[in-house]
Amino acid sequence: MGYDEFHKRLDARNALLDRMGIENLSAKEGEEIAAKQGIGPLERIPKPHEFDPAKKPAWSLLMMFAWVMWRQMDSVRQFWREYRENTYRLHYRRNLREPGPDGSVVIRDRWSLKQDQPLGMEDLVLFEALEEGLPILSYEDAKREIISSFLNGDITATGTDKSTREIRDVPLAIWRVGDITLRGTGITFEPEVTHWPHSQGYEDISVSVRDVLRIWPLVAEDKTKEAAKLRLQNNGKAGRPEKRDWSQYDEFVQREVKEYGDPRNKGSSKYSSLRELSRVVQTMIEENEGGDVDNDGVYTHVARVVRKFFAAT
């Protein structure tokens, strides 16, 4: 496709997205029009065979966690950064305030194509807490098994040193450090850690797929579901928030995202991340109710409130 043809097609797709908002068309109706005009499909969701995790020689730490927790390639694919970078979904927003041609403010609905955002370690906890797709191992159990495998020398990893920006083997000793945080795509040391002066951590960590599948082999689907249900019956669902009256905290979260924007999108909110907003809520709970608060439970609840708020607007 030539340069002119590409921009002609892009302009036609943008015009159709505008029309879908003005005429209150559904995603299905928009896709049907796009097909007739020869500019479809609007959404871009790669086929599983286009991004097959089993064909990769190495997985990220996130993909490894997804496999150990769910033992399903579909789950691993959801945590594959390149897959999400190539996925665009139709996104509908109501009552947007936009400048009109004469300088006035126009209230309108709008469709747009939104790229799937990269996922991080915190999303493993959120996915675990969702009603569908129960993992056979909780995040905490998977973390213990994975770190134990590194310490035993059963598996090795490479990553980018955050201090030097060099790609190197992740030292075995790093997994013995007590105050590390698995965040984003790798490992971060908390600021107060002083006994590891040569590095602030590693990111973009990758591991051999062959080693991962050797240690945690494929489990038949029926046994996967059985193990997940058994774990739920025995232990409860990790990450599920404690029973409490959430109404005042829900109202606070809704006010914050309404005024300051979606914390899930970097740069569009006063909160740098969903985790930062959940920490504020956690502090409120501790001040109001006292006692220990389940960090992941609060994060999961706040994430649900934010998702429902923007789904309804």
The Cα–Cα gap between 3 and 100 comes to 30
Do 156 and 207 share a domain, yes or no? yes
| Residues 301 and 231 both lie in one domain | no
The proportion of the chain whose per-residue pLDDT surpasses 70, expressed as a percent, equals 78
Looking at the domain assignment, is residue 187 inside a domain? yes
pLDDT tens column, 16-75: 998 998 888 889 999 999 999 999 899 999 999 999 999 999 998 889 999 999 999 999
Number of domains in the chain: 3
Average of pLDDT values for 177-200?
47
In a domain, 148, yes or no: yes
Same domain membership, residue 217 and residue 140 = yes
- DSSP for residue 263: T
Task: Work out the pLDDT band at 194, boundaries 50, 70, 90.
Answer: very low
For 113-154, the pLDDT digits (tens) are 999 988 887 788 778 776 445 788 888 888 888 888 888 888
Q: What is the pLDDT of residue 174?
A: 66
3-state secondary structure of 1: coil
Task: Quote the DSSP letter at residue 158.
Answer: E
The residue among 176, 211, 235 that closes a domain is 235
* Residue 15 C-beta-side C-alpha neighbours within 13 Å: 10
| 272/290 same-domain check | yes
Rounded Cα distance between 294 and 189, Å, is 21
pLDDT digits (tens, 9 = 90+) for 260-271: 888 877 666 788
Q: How many CB atoms lie within 10 A of CB 181?
A: 13
Q: Is 240 among the domain residues? A: no
Q: 105 and 12 share a domain?
A: yes
Residues 105-114, mean pLDDT to the nearest whole number:
84
Q: What is the mean pLDDT of the chain?
A: 79
Which of 102-106, 194-198, 215-219 is predicted with the least confidence, judged by mean pLDDT? 194-198
* pLDDT given for residue 131 in this prediction: 47
Give 49: exposed, middle or buried? Use CB within 10 Å, 0-12, 13-18, 19+: exposed
Q: What pLDDT is attached to residue 227?
A: 58
Query: Residue 142 falls within a domain, yes or no?
Result: yes
Residue 197 has pLDDT above 50, yes or no: no
Q: Domain boundary residue among 213, 235, 257?
A: 235
Do 204 and 265 reside in the same domain of the chain? Answer: no
In a shared domain, residues 20 and 111:
yes
Shared-domain flag, residues 1 and 111: yes
- Report which of residues 36 and 187 the model is more confident about: 36
Q: What is the pTM of this model?
A: 0.67
CA angle 115, 116, 120 (to 5 degrees): 140
Look at residue 196 in the predicted model and tell me its pLDDT.
Answer: 41
Same domain, 187 and 276: no
CB 199 within 8 A of CB 180: no
Least confident range of 103-112, 197-206, 221-230, 245-254: 221-230
Last residue of one domain, picked from the residues 203, 235, 267? 235
**Distance between CA atoms of 231 and 240, rounded to whole angstroms?**
14
Distance CA 195, CA 72 (A): 38
More confident residue, 300 or 255: 255
pLDDT at 128: 77
180 & 200 share domain? yes
**Which has more confidence, 225 or 4?**
4
Give domain status of residue 129, yes or no.
yes
Question: What's the average model confidence in pLDDT over 218-225?
Answer: 65
**Does residue 83 lie in a domain region?**
no
97 & 179 share domain: no
Q: Do 112 and 11 reside in the same domain of the chain?
A: yes
H-only helix segments in the chain: 3-22, 27-37, 61-70, 73-78, 81-85, 121-129, 139-151, 209-215, 221-235, 247-260, 274-289, 295-311
Mean pLDDT in residue range 199-214 = 84
Which range marks the domain in which residue 35 is found?
A: 1-42+89-116
pLDDT surpasses 70 at 202:
yes
Indicate whether 64 belongs to any domain. no
Q: Are 77 and 48 in contact (CB under 8 A)?
A: yes
Residue 52 within any structural domain of the chain: no
